[in-house]
Structure 1
Amino acid sequence: IDWLAAGLNPGVATIFIQSKVPEHAELHLLLSMITPLGWLERVPSYKDQQAQLQDRDLGTYGFLGYPLLQSADILLYRPQYVPVGEDQVAHVEITREVARRFNHVYGRDAQFETKVEKAIKSLGSRNAALYGALRKEFQEKGDAGALVKARSLVESNARLSVADRDRLLGFLEGSGIAVLPEPEVLLTSTPKVPGLDGRKMSKSYGNTIGLREDGDSVARKLKTMQTDPARVRRTDPGDPEKCPVWDLHQVYSSAETREWVQNGCRSAGIGCLDCKKPLIDKVVEETSAIAKRAQEFEENPDLVRGIIAQGCERARDVARDTLAVVRQAMAMDYR
């Protein structure tokens, strides 16, 4: 309900429950057979949370292997890009490493040439002929310029699926395909949203603001939010770049308000509570609007269940296709 109320359109975004798509667990298991423990132990969040949550028993594979489950969540849908926050970039990087290792171990998929021929036809007759000529120039004469042009031709073609694009790129150099394509990170203009204590926002740390949180609670939390530690007194100048409140201003505030914050903070012309006031107004305005929209969905639970059911089926269709390709590559197709 929170996601729908926040504006996700189920006609564009597939909203589903992970546990209703068992292919997630299967791909996670298969990937765990080829992933070195050392890769998981060096994930930054693994070490950070061990240090931050010392009162919890984290000595389990469930905790250690969680980044690999995230990798399975991503790779199961073979995306080209993954929209994440700055703190999740490391998870996408390990996902790329896992995909690269899988592709190295299991190589080409079955019927590679047949699928390449079909993908070439998808380019259109003129581009297909150009692709063939450029590939020949590169493979027979070693023309690096032809390779660059051919790659550009493939990557700029919007009609190709991610899998077909990867097949054609691999075919250029005479190699196989990436069974699991390596996804790229997609960051927003403000890739970091801090928690109330300056650390990353996490329910585990208890430093979050709920999407539908009561306005008085939001105001109370933001008023006590950590600021630049250099501003001990009201008359001390500060540096917005060292203040987590500034990160929220970059998300919510207009250019005019951000300029006011920069000038006022650095000159001690405004205090921290002054700085937070317009931010509080904007955040409360947003959470109140989300809460209002959420009420409509709460009053119509059958609509929500229907959206989730459709999303689960849509997700399973894609997940089944990926698992079929993975099993075939691993010679586990027992038909």
Structure 2
Amino acid sequence: MFTERVVSGMRPTGALHLGHYHGALKNWVRLQSEHPCLFFVADWHALTTHYDSPDVIERNVWDMVVDWLAAGIDPQQSVLFIQSRVPEHAELHLLLSMSTPLGWLERVPTYKDQQEKLSDRDLATYGFLGYPLLQAADILMYRAAWVPVGEDQVPHIEITREIARRFNHLFGREPGFEDKAREAVKKLGSKRAKLYQELRTRYQEQGDETALEQGHELLELAQNLGMADRERLFGWLAGSRKIILAEPQALLTEASRMPGIDGQKMSKSYGNAIAMREAPESVTKKIRTMPTDPARVRRTDPGEPERCPVWQLHLVYSDNDTRDWVQKGCRSAGIGCLECKQPVIDAIIAEQQQFHERAQPYLDDPSLLRNIVADGCDKARKMAQETMRDVREAMGLAYD
């Protein structure tokens, strides 16, 4: 039940830009070789803010998945699926809503922040208020151990943990739980049973997190435990009841340093983005027309790289030798701004070449893309059905 799964998703905003690649996708590519990964298109989440313009969502879904594949996400290693094609997400969202306090949702920092940023939209809807709960359902459905997020998203993982904890407390009740847990311990064998008890004591009496991790590993390796006994012992180890929904941990990702062509954070809404699969001539034009250090009015004027947006791109794309060349050449007026920009242009076009090559088969034959997603949806749904079976049983909804 408790695996090292990683779960993450993105709202379908259409073709992705280099900020998405350096901020998230590059990390996903690394994680898929280290953990079982599920990556999903959060199309229901897109409706929380764009419910009045659903016509763009379908096109955006497929554009985004192509970009994932172009970035190097491998469907042989990762499960790629669309949220709305796994209807169990909606059921778990509904069932969790029965026991989630309203105040928990209202205090999520991004709730008021997004209302202010998107003041042109009517966001006084239940869907917008409840999106952290839907996000929690997305994660808890797959009993994920890790969720890769930036620091600004950590509160969403914290509320997900609280929701799981409350659910387990309310519905993890089981007649004779402790007696059944003690019987399950005996199945570990005398040596492992003794170690389990020691780890349980260390965690519950001393709060030793290492003991909790070691206990989890012990139970994962216990081949002779059935699913129900394993769940009981996970719960008893942590001093709680039967664990039905696992509490995920935030896997902090390094903040993207990818600036837009104006030096601000790259964003479509700022009009400063370079798409992952942008045409080389368009990339060249955008970077050639980028603003530079205002002090360099003439070619012979010395400049300061730290004041120049192009320098921010060099920090992402250039090696140390090139950066030294820029620093010296700019400050001495030994190189012009167009000369300075050329290594960045070359590096971005070279990076994008692999994106274009990986994407082309799916552009030539869209059925390949549909098949990958259909297969991913099937795999995700089987996992989701297992979770919902346990959730329904815990909530007394498993009657025939």
Give the TM interval when normalised to the shorter protein.
Answer: 0.7 to 0.9
Q: Cα offset for 1:323?
A: 1.4
Matched, 1:29 2:94: yes
Give yes or no for contact 2:177–2:241 (8 Å, CA) kept in 1.
Answer: yes
Query: How many residue pairs end up in the alignment?
Result: 324
Give the alignment partner of residue 5 of structure 1, picking from 70, 90, 93.
70
Deviates more, 1:42-51 or 1:273-282: 273-282
Give the alignment partner of residue 56 of structure 1, picking from 104, 111, 121.
121
Q: Distance in 2 between matches of 1:320 and 1:302?
A: 26
The answer for the alignment partner of 2:295 in structure 1 is 233
Give yes or no for contact 1:226–1:245 (8 Å, CA) kept in 2.
Answer: no
1:13-92 to structure 2, matched below 5 A, reads: 13-92=78-157
Deviation per CA, 1:267-287: give whole Å up to 9, x if none. 687887666543333222222
Q: Cα offset for 1:20?
A: 0.8
Give the alignment partner of residue 130 of structure 1, picking from 195, 205, 216.
195
Deviation per CA, 1:225-252: give whole Å up to 9, x if none. 688xxx5423564648x97973x65654
Q: Name the SS of the counterpart of 1:291 in structure 2.
A: helix
Call closer, same or farther: CA 1:65–1:318 in 2, change over 3 Å: same
Q: Distance in 2 between matches of 1:132 and 1:301?
A: 55
The answer for the alignment partner of 1:151 in structure 2 is 212
Q: Distance in 1 between matches of 2:265 and 2:128?
A: 18
Q: Distance in 2 between matches of 1:92 and 1:170?
A: 20
Q: Cα offset for 1:22?
A: 0.2
The answer for the alignment partner of 1:103 in structure 2 is 168
Code of the aligned partner of 1:8? I
Matched, 1:332 2:397: yes
Q: Name the SS of the counterpart of 1:209 in structure 2.
A: coil
Percent identical:
53
Give yes or no for contact 1:99–1:180 (8 Å, CA) kept in 2.
Answer: yes
Q: Cα offset for 1:44?
A: 3.5
Q: Name the SS of the counterpart of 1:16 in structure 2.
A: strand
Deviates more, 1:92-101 or 1:6-15: 92-101
Q: Cα offset for 1:210?
A: 2.5
Q: Cα offset for 1:12?
A: 1.3
The answer for the alignment partner of 2:384 in structure 1 is 319
Give yes or no for contact 1:100–1:182 (8 Å, CA) kept in 2.
Answer: yes
Give yes or no for contact 1:131–1:150 (8 Å, CA) kept in 2.
Answer: no
Deviation per CA, 1:1-20: give whole Å up to 9, x if none. 22222211111100111111
Deviates more, 1:102-111 or 1:287-296: 102-111
Call closer, same or farther: CA 1:153–1:54 in 2, change over 3 Å: closer
Deviates more, 1:323-332 or 1:311-320: 323-332
Q: Cα offset for 1:223?
A: 5.3
- In structure 2, stretches of 5+ residues that fail to align are 1-65, 297-301
Deviates more, 1:15-24 or 1:277-286: 277-286
Q: Cα offset for 1:189?
A: 4.2
Give yes or no for contact 1:154–1:165 (8 Å, CA) kept in 2.
Answer: no
Give yes or no for contact 1:80–1:183 (8 Å, CA) kept in 2.
Answer: yes
Matched, 1:94 2:159: yes
Code of the aligned partner of 2:358? R
Call closer, same or farther: CA 1:253–1:317 in 2, change over 3 Å: farther
Q: Distance in 1 between matches of 2:166 and 2:360?
A: 46
Give yes or no for contact 2:181–2:233 (8 Å, CA) kept in 1.
Answer: no
Q: Name the SS of the counterpart of 2:139 in structure 1.
A: helix
Q: Name the SS of the counterpart of 1:15 in structure 2.
A: strand
Q: Name the SS of the counterpart of 1:308 in structure 2.
A: helix
Deviates more, 1:112-121 or 1:50-59: 112-121
Q: Distance in 2 between matches of 1:316 and 1:131?
A: 33
Q: Name the SS of the counterpart of 1:318 in structure 2.
A: helix
Give the alignment partner of residue 285 of structure 1, picking from 350, 369, 373.
350
Code of the aligned partner of 2:295? R
- In structure 1, stretches of 5+ residues that fail to align are none
The TM-score normalised by the length of structure 1 is: 0.75
Call closer, same or farther: CA 1:158–1:331 in 2, change over 3 Å: closer
Q: Distance in 2 between matches of 1:13 and 1:94?
A: 26
The answer for the alignment partner of 2:299 in structure 1 is none
Q: Distance in 2 between matches of 1:120 and 1:259?
A: 66
The answer for the alignment partner of 1:308 in structure 2 is 373
Q: Cα offset for 1:218?
A: 3.1
